[in-house]
């Protein structure tokens, strides 16, 4: 087990996909293609968020001032903030190149939207799902630094400070049960709008790259930033292990490994 680092660490959280499965009259929205097949929660970790924010701000200012891009309809959204799902291809290319050269690591947990699990484990409540995924992500991370700031991108009716503090407490308890050790570090939870912090827009892009791989079998984005990927947990892929499937630099994610997708 790694010793606790005295340096402060910063985590920036966001999500990709929708946590919803059932629509009106109990219609399975995943089966009829009305919603995403997966819901993903992840974070980037860095000791130097100022450099990341500075790099993202710099490219944002250049993009906003670019006359070639000005008439593209999506630029109305991009001028306010980066959002991978809304930005045009020219903008995505520039942002991904900045991320490629930035100093951070990325981890995420992918929840395949299996109705039985979402109903039995989370009562089909997005807030319970999100809280549990955050807890699983952080269980083996919170002891690594004496001081950690966790920034969460606001998500209506799903993310609030008390809920995320509960997720962190659950992560600590899971760690204690496994290792018999208590946390003595300082952890803060900050809820912030993505438009107010470029680091939250950076994790949005990283999550979108994973989402493209799972949802559309498009791996070019995640392959481009693969050096940033520390861990991807396919938590409900039980084909080989009862605790899910783990992808890392030593076991990189690929189309052959994540397929087939089944309800």
Mean pLDDT, consecutive 10-residue segments, the chain of 263 residues? 82 96 90 94 97 98 98 97 98 98 98 94 94 94 91 85 92 86 86 96 98 97 98 94 93 90 52
- For residue 128, give every residue at least 6 positions away whose Cβ sits within 8 Å of its Cβ, in sequence order, or none: 122
Model pTM? 0.94
State the pLDDT at residue 263. Answer: 45
State the pLDDT at residue 261. Answer: 59
Distance CA 54, CA 58 (A): 6
Phi, psi of 232 (to 5 degrees): -125, 120
State the pLDDT at residue 159. Answer: 87
Distance CA 198, CA 203 (A): 9
**CB 233 within 8 Å of CB 108:** yes
- For residue 35, give every residue at least 6 positions away whose Cβ sits within 8 Å of its Cβ, in sequence order, or none: 17, 18, 20, 21, 29, 113
State the pLDDT at residue 46. Answer: 98
C-alpha distances in angstroms, 178 versus 1, 136, 181? 12, 13, 8
């Amino acid at each position: 087990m790694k010793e606790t680092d005295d340096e402060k660490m910063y985590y920036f959280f966001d999500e990709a996909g929708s946590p919803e499965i059932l629509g009106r009259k109990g219609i399975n929205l995943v089966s009829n293609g009305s919603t995403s097949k997966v819901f993903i929660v992840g974070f980037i970790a860095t000791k130097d968020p100022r450099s990341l924010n500075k790099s993202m701000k710099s490219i944002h200012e250049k993009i906003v001032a670019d006359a070639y891009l000005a008439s593209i309809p999506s630029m109305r959204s991009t001028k306010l903030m980066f959002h991978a799902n809304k930005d045009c291809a020219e903008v995505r290319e520039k942002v991904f190149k900045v991320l490629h050269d930035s100093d951070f690591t990325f981890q995420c947990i992918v929840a395949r939207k299996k109705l039985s699990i979402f109903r039995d484990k989370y009562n089909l409540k997005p807030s319970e799902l999100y809280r549990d995924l955050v807890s699983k992500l952080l269980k083996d991370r919170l002891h690594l630094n004496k001081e950690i700031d966790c920034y969460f991108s606001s998500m209506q009716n799903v993310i609030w400070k008390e809920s995320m503090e509960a997720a962190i407490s659950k992560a600590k308890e899971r760690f204690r049960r496994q290792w018999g050790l208590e946390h003595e570090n300082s952890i803060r939870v900050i809820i912030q709008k993505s438009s107010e912090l470029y680091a939250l827009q950076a994790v949005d892009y990283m999550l979108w790259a994973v989402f493209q791989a799972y949802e559309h079998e498009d791996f070019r984005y995640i392959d481009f930033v693969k050096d940033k990927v520390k861990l991807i947990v396919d938590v409900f892929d039980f084909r080989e292990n009862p605790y899910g499937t783990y992808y890392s630099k030593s076991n990189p994610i690929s189309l052959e490994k994540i397929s087939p997708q089944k309800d």
